[in-house]
Amino acid sequence: MGRKRRKNKREQMLKLCVAVPILHDHEVAIFKMTVKEVFAEALKRLARCGYTSIEQGKEFVYAAGEIPIMLVAHVDTVHTAPPKTVLYDRTQGLLWSPEGLGADDRAGVIGIFEMLNRGFRPHVLFTDGEEEFGTGATEVAQKLMGTDVNYVVELDRRNGDEAVFYDCDNKEFKQHVLGFGFRESWGTFSDISIICPDWDIAGVNLSTGYYKEHTQTEYFSLADLWRTLGRLEKMLSAPETKQFKFCARSSVKPWYSRFDEDNASLPAYSSRSLYDDTADWVNYRDNAGTRPVAQTNIESTYYLHSEEFTTVIYADDLVDLYGGDLETWAMWLTDNYGDLLGAAERAILEEIDKKLLDGDATLPPFMDVDSGKK
């Protein structure tokens, strides 16, 4: 009996040891690459894996594969430069950097490379500009004009085990994806928000294991990514033979635009979906030399955008702070979006007014801190 218990314990320890995936140095180096270097690495790996039909645009690399599913990841990050230092705890499978890791979305890039290493040959798309309102995805939608795939999988979701469908409400497709063990969550935007409605193909964004994205405290869990890839293996091994169509939600959530059509100084609201027109999402209208703020579909996240300032409130953080469930908080953020935005803007302006009255020397030099006038 004692030997049997010791044997079981050794087996448990062995399982524990192999449960933590290992990222080799040449994969860790992907976090340190520039956008140009990641594209070059992608082209090299695609060629080595036997892809022959490869198309490269200004902000994308696309390779036609054998499996009728397209994997997508974006190569850009919010950071101005890639990190020089990447810290890696191999015992826990965690990576981070004091300079900001950029796992959103280098984790997705690593995920696609890993699926290629495992011998799968799906259609593959790498984009640039996702963090700039999807400029690469817009170029893809304009130049590729659709492709012969049954659905699209983006690897660009934070946390683990989550699947985000955005405004795609194809219930059969959701059932198919969630059947692999994912749980449905809500999000605001990724490349498939532009590509899928334009191509009329269903798509989903799956968790890649990054946390606290867009910050210097971001970290990346290999175990979460590997769990997603294990499910993705099953999806690619027995792909559906029919194409899942993009089905827009019957009721859409509001988006906020920085500029009203008639008066650029006033906010504008609309009940249209951000999918009604791709150009609505990437709106670079030249208005007195000011770049307008991207219109945003508010679901599980509340975003306030301005030229140089962004504040974010996550619905799941509200769940942690106040209780309740994710969907209820997401809907509350949506229903109270205008009031929240107004309150945020007033708080910012009140803080600026206070600094003016206090004669704050940190204000921009063109401000007259004595009179409060420009």
Q: Which domain holds residue 226?
A: 2-237
Together in a domain, 303 and 231 = no
Mark whether 210 and 275 lie in a shared domain.
no
Residue 359 included in any domain: no
Stated length of the chain: 374
Domain tally, the chain: 2
Structure tokens at 267: 């906010």
Q: Is residue 245 part of a domain?
A: no
Q: Give the lowest-confidence range in 203-217, 239-253, 256-270, 297-311.
A: 256-270
Pair (69, 193) in one structural domain:
yes
Question: pLDDT for 211-242, tens place per residue?
Answer: 999 999 999 999 999 999 999 999 999 998 89
- Strand-strand pairing, 203-207 and 162-164: antiparallel
**Does residue 264 carry a pLDDT above 70?**
no
Q: Are residues 68 and 176 in the same domain?
A: yes
pLDDT value for 10: 52
Q: What is the pLDDT of residues 93-104, one digit of tens each?
A: 999 999 999 999
Q: Is the pTM of this model over 0.85?
A: no
Q: Are 119 and 71 a contacting pair, CB within 8 Å?
A: no
Judged against a pLDDT cut of 70, whether residue 355 lies above it is answered with yes
CATH code, 129: 3.40.630.10
Task: Let me know whether 159 and 119 are in one domain.
Answer: yes
Q: Which of 212-216, 266-270, 327-331 has the highest mean pLDDT?
A: 212-216
Confidence bin at 266 (pLDDT 50/70/90):
very low
Mean pLDDT of 36-43: 98
| Same domain flag for 181 and 288 | no
DSSP 98-125: TT---HHHHHHHHHHHHHHHTT--EEEE
**Whether the Cβ atoms of residue 123 and residue 69 lie closer than 8 Å to each other:** yes
Contacts of 163 (CB under 8 A, 6+ apart): 157, 174, 177, 178, 182, 183, 184, 185, 204, 205, 206, 207
What is the per-residue pLDDT across 47-106, written as a single tens digit (0 to 9) for each? 999 999 999 999 999 999 999 999 999 999 999 999 999 999 998 999 999 999 999 999
Residues 108 and 201 occupy one common structural domain: yes
For the cut 60, the answer to whether the pLDDT of residue 331 exceeds it is yes
Burial class from Cβ neighbours inside 10 Å (0-12, 13-18, 19+) for residue 309 reads exposed
Q: Is 246 inside any structural domain?
A: no
* Mean pLDDT score across all residues of the chain: 79
pLDDT confidence of residue 203: 97
**CB distance 207 to 228 below 8 Å:** yes
Residue that is last in its domain, among 237, 264, 291: 237
151 domain residue, yes or no: yes
pLDDT at 111: 98
Categorize the per-residue pLDDT at 258 as very low, low, confident or very high, splitting at 50, 70 and 90.
Answer: very low
Question: Would you say residue 327 lies in a domain?
Answer: yes
Q: Do 84 and 169 sit in the same domain of this protein?
A: yes
The closest alpha carbon to 33, from 129, 87, 109, 98, belongs to 109
Q: What are phi and psi of 3, to 5 degrees?
A: -65, -40
Whole-number pLDDT of residue 283: 36
Are residues 154 and 287 both part of a single domain?
no
Instruction: Report the alpha-carbon distance of residue 352 to residue 179 in Å, rounded.
Output: 51
Residues 173 and 306 in one domain: no
166 lies in the same domain as 270: no
Check residues 270 and 152 and name the one with the higher pLDDT. 152
Cβ atoms of 299 and 334 closer than 8 Å:
yes
Tell me: do 271 and 168 sit in the same domain: no
The Cα–Cα gap between 70 and 73 comes to 10
Is position 208 within any domain?
Answer: yes
For the purposes of burial, counting CB atoms within 10 Å of the CB of 117, is it exposed (0-12), middle (13-18) or buried (19 or more)?
A: exposed
In a domain? residue 163: yes
DSSP string, 248-280: B-SS---EEESS-SS-TTS-EEE-S-TTS-HHH
